[in-house]
Structures are given as C-alpha cells and as structure tokens.
Amino acid sequence: MLKKLAGSLIFLLTAIITAASADQAAWIEKPDAYKAGEMINPGIVIREFCAPCGDETWKDIKVKQVEVRNTDARFYQIFINGEGIDLAYTYIQKADRWINLAMLLGLNVSGVPEFLSEQQKPGQEIGSALIDKILKECSDKAVRTTDVIICTDNASELWDARLNKIYNQLRAVLTPNQKNALKSAQLEWISYRDSEFELIDSILPSSQGQKHALAGAQRRMEIIRNRSLELEAYLNLIKN
C-alpha cells in the first residue's frame, strides 16, 4: 500500500512539473481564432516564448503566411508559415511592449508572463537576476497598484518556470538515492506551498482591497522564488 502511495506521489510530482508545458491555447474557438488571425499580418515579427517549457529566450518569427484552419467540428488553430502555433506562447508587439496574444484575447492560460521584458535579450537565459530586473522594470512603470500586482504575478510565473527547470537540471546530476530524496523533499515543499497559499488567501483576501491583494501576490512570489534559489544553490554546489 505504501509503495503504491509513494508511486502515486512521484507520478503526481512529475505531472505537476510537466503539465504546464502542455498545449493551452493551440485549439481555440472560431471567433477567437479569426480575431487572432486579424492581429497577425504578413510582414510583422512575432515572438515565441514558452516559459513552462523551460525556454531560456524568445524566438523571433517573421510572418510570411497566416492561416486559420478548422481542426475539428468545434476548434480552430492559427498556422504561421505552415506551422501551428499555441497562442499561450505567442507574443505580438503593441506600442512598445510585447504582449501575450492569448491574454490579449482574454483566453484562460497559466504559467506564462503577460509581457516580455525589454531587459530580456535574444540568447540570454532568464535567470534569477533577470527575473528580479524584469519585476523591478515592470513595477517602476506601473501607475496603479493593480499594475504592480500584475507585474508580481508575471514574476511568479517566471519563477515557477525557473523552479521547474532548476529541479530538472538538479535531478539530472544526482544519484538514484539522491533523486528519491529530492522528490520526497519537493513533494513536501509542494504541500507546504499549497498550505501557505491557502493561509495567504485567508489572511490577505483580495476582497479586502488592493493593499491586501498586493501583499498576497508578493508573498506567493517569494515562496516560489525562495524555493527556486534553494535548489539552484544545491545545483551550483554540485557543479562547483
């Protein structure tokens, strides 16, 4: 019974770490698909960036051809230069900002930042220092408290992607016994994180105003950030 439970927990951990990279907004309903198609014109450049997949940088794609295809009876997909895209990982330029296309359309996606930062350069890994810079840059430009909350939530998504990547990198250099210890510790941390998030929602409900909402967003981000830095410290010790 205990072996079965342990196996289920390990499977759950793997699912938690990899689920975020699944398709989110590849197949969408017809009105959203045609609206997205109207936003992507031949000749422009779009950016492809999948934070949950562990992408270290974005990829520029020069649009030559745009198609909206009916994938089944209900759903449609956007094809750029003959390749299907997921709007959750697609960014288009609006004014001086690169904004997530799925979010721009109001689609429900997770694990992705709403904006790409000006600090981020092609070929540059989105490491710990850069995430902090992205948050500061976004917060400095914020006009309202709600804008700072959005900046903080975006940073949380980046930290979560960073955590998943560091976890997998650390696991790759460990012995079998060490891997089991890491899984056990990470499962306990996930339980702690979920409990803390519930506590945050209880003590700092967003319904009590923006001050509480911001404090809650910052606390959630710090929990994920701290864990990412902890695992990164182990990785650096092993490599050095």
Q: Per-residue pLDDT tens, the chain, 240 aa: give them.
A: 434 334 444 334 444 444 444 578 999 999 999 999 999 999 999 999 887 777 777 889 999 999 999 988 789 999 999 999 999 999 998 867 788 899 888 888 887 888 886 655 555 556 788 888 888 888 888 889 988 998 898 888 888 888 888 998 999 999 999 999 999 999 999 999 999 999 999 999 888 889 999 999 999 999 999 999 999 999 999 988
2 lies in some domain: no
Range of the domain at 108: 28-116
Within-domain flag for 64:
yes
Cα dist. 32→35, 37, 103 in Å?
A: 5, 9, 11
Q: Which among 116, 134, 168 is the end of a domain?
A: 116
Does 111 reside within a domain?
yes
Whether residues 107 and 184 fall in one domain: no
pLDDT of residue 237: 93
Looking at the structure, tell me whether residues 58 and 112 fall in a common domain. Answer: yes
* Domain boundary residue, one of 62, 81, 116: 116
96/154 same-domain check: no
132: closest CA among 228, 214, 215, 231?
228
pLDDT score at 21: 47
Q: Is 124 a member of any domain?
A: no
146 and 217 part of one domain: yes
pLDDT value at residue 206: 80
Where a domain ends, among 116, 132, 165?
Answer: 116
DSSP E strands, 75-116: 75-80, 83-84, 90-94, 97-100, 115-116
Considering the domain boundaries, does residue 18 fall inside one? no
Spatial distance between the Cα atoms of 129 and 139, rounded to a whole number of angstroms: 15
Phi, psi (rounded to 5 degrees) for 232 = -65, -35
81 φ, ψ (degrees, to nearest 5):
55, 35
Domains of the chain: total: 2
Does 121 fall in a domain? no
Q: Are residues 179 and 235 in the same domain?
A: yes
Asked whether residue 22 is domain-assigned, the answer is no
Which CATH number does the domain housing residue 155 bear? 1.20.1270
Indicate whether 32 and 109 sit together in one domain: yes
pLDDT for the residue 125: 59
